[in-house]
Structure 1
Amino acid sequence: MPVLPVVVYPTSPTGGRRVRVDGEIVGLAYSLADVAELLRRAGLEGMDADDVARSELIEWRGGGPQVWAESPP
């Protein structure tokens, strides 16, 4: 299975971070678990939140995997 480029963008005004896989925005994540779920839906099976935080396959923009705003109400 080919490795798809993954980019997690800086926090948006609503608090989430856009996630792009293979050039397509796949969703808005509010946590590492959300990123893992978006990757699973995009076909990258078997990654959990810890894997996402350690993965060298993910380009983190505007802060690394530890940077999250609070979820909206």
Structure 2
Amino acid sequence: MTPPVTVHRLGADGGRRVSVRGSGGGTSLLGIAYGDRDVVEFLRRAGLDDGDQLLDDPAWVRWLGGRPHEWAAA
């Protein structure tokens, strides 16, 4: 089964889109993350207060295009 949260490929601006699949099967964009803290904040806003513990859980978060936690150099 595909995890409900997807961190997409690194974009030209150095950010990664973060989306969540809803119970009806549709996908919503949570925002553009520029680091792990952004992803954790998006998850918190979506009702997942333990987002920092979910980042490395493949049952919850799928990382596309590159390695997990990979961000553009500042």
Distance, in Å, in 1 between the alignment partners of 2:54 and 2:35 is 10
Local SS of the residue matching 1:38: helix
Q: Equivalent residue for 1:61?
A: 64
Tell which deviates more after alignment, 26-35 or 58-67: 58-67
Q: How big is the alpha-carbon RMSD for the aligned residues of Structure 1 and Structure 2?
A: 1.6
Partner of 1:43: 47
Unpaired runs of at least 5, structure 2: 22-26
Q: CA deviation at 1:64?
A: 2.5
Structure 1 distance, partners of 2:66, 2:12, is 15
Structure 1 residues 18 and 7: CA distance shift in structure 2, 3 A: same
Q: Which sections of structure 1, spanning at least 5 residues, go unmatched?
A: none
Q: CA deviation at 1:65?
A: 1.6
What is the DSSP-based 3-state SS (H/G/I as helix, E as strand, rest coil) of the residue aligned with 1:59?
A: strand
TM-score by length of 1: 0.78
What is the number of equivalent residue pairs in this alignment?
A: 66
Query: Runs (4+) of structure 1 moved beyond 2 Å?
Result: none
